[in-house]
């Protein structure tokens, strides 16, 4: 089944391709945030191509997917920027981007760059399980079912037994998402903490473009 966010979101009607255009090749989990930043700041020079968010469950597939997208679109744009962090690739995505001559977002993962890479590193948290707006919305599809907890809820302790707190990194002030995140913490048997991060270093990286 096709991931609902595995779609090309190049806004040619708003921003015809041409000199100076920048293509963002991004994780589908960041589509809503990127489009919100684009609209709020009038960044009509930025076009967006999303890769399937579910690639995070198989990080080894991220690099070939990014390589293929860069190869397919780079001739149509003056610049290409990859909106992934390391995302479990062990530094190999950064190496691939350097080899291709394209930039990418700094940081180990989106939880870090949403909070701000420096602030996240300073916390040095080891017992926190993080959710973003996207993962709160898509928790069952991207966490619960892939881990088999819908069929074997007894596996909860094996996966989450070392966590103490579910930290919801909120990109938006949405009471419905906050309530759902709190419910998910209860489901996992974890304490609940909400942190409003906004877009963090993602916004900073896109501003630089």
The beta-carbon contacts of 119-128 under 8 Å, at least 24 apart in sequence, are 125/167, 127/162, 127/163, 127/164, 127/165, 128/163, 128/164, 128/165, 128/166, 128/167, 128/193
- DSSP helix/strand/coil, 43: coil
Question: Residue 120 in contact with residue 206, Cβ under 8 Å?
Answer: no
Q: Give ranges for CATH 3.40.50 in the chain.
A: 8-105
What pLDDT sits at residue 10? 40
What pLDDT sits at residue 7? 40
Domain 8-105: state its class: alpha beta
Q: What is the mean pLDDT of residues 68-91?
A: 96
| Residue bearing the bigger pLDDT, 35 or 6 | 35
- Strand 46-51, strand 8-9: pairing: antiparallel
Q: What is the pLDDT of residues 18-74, one digit of tens each?
A: 444 899 999 999 999 999 999 999 999 999 999 999 998 999 999 999 999 999 999
* Residue 79 pLDDT class (50, 70, 90 cuts): very high
Alpha helices by DSSP H, listed for the chain, are: 31-41, 62-73, 92-100, 110-115, 117-123, 133-137, 139, 156-160, 175-188, 200-207
What pLDDT sits at residue 152? 96
What pLDDT sits at residue 6? 38
What pLDDT sits at residue 202? 98
Strands in 8-9's sheet, in edge-to-edge order, are 8-9, 46-51, 22-27, 79-83, 103-104
Q: What is the pLDDT of residues 101-140, one digit of tens each?
A: 999 999 999 999 999 999 999 998 999 999 999 999 999 9
Distance between CA atoms of 135 and 169, rounded to whole angstroms? 10
What pLDDT sits at residue 2? 37
Q: What is the pLDDT of residues 163-198, one digit of tens each?
A: 999 999 999 999 999 999 999 999 999 999 999 999
Instruction: Give 126's DSSP letter.
Output: S
């Amino acid at each position: 089944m096709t991931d609902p966010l595995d779609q090309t979101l190049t806004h040619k009607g708003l921003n015809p391709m041409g000199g100076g255009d920048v293509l963002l090749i991004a994780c589908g989990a960041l589509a809503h945030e990127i489009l919100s930043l684009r609209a709020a700041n009038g960044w009509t020079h930025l076009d967006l191509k999303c890769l399937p968010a579910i690639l995070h469950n198989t990080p080894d597939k991220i690099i070939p997917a990014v390589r293929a997208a860069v190869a397919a679109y780079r001739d149509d744009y003056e610049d290409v920027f990859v909106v992934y962090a390391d995302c479990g690739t062990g530094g190999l995505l950064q190496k691939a981007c350097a080899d291709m001559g394209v930039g990418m977002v700094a940081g180990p993962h989106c939880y870090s760059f949403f909070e701000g890479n420096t602030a996240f590193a300073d916390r040095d948290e080891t017992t926190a399980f993080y959710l973003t707006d996207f993962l709160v919305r898509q928790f069952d599809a991207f966490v619960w079912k892939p881990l088999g907890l819908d069929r074997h809820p007894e596996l909860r302790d094996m996966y989450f037994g070392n966590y103490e707190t579910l930290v919801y990194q909120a990109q938006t002030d949405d009471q419905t998402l906050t309530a759902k995140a709190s419910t998910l913490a209860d489901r996992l048997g974890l304490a609940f903490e909400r942190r409003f991060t906004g877009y963090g270093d993602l916004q900073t990286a896109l501003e630089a473009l």
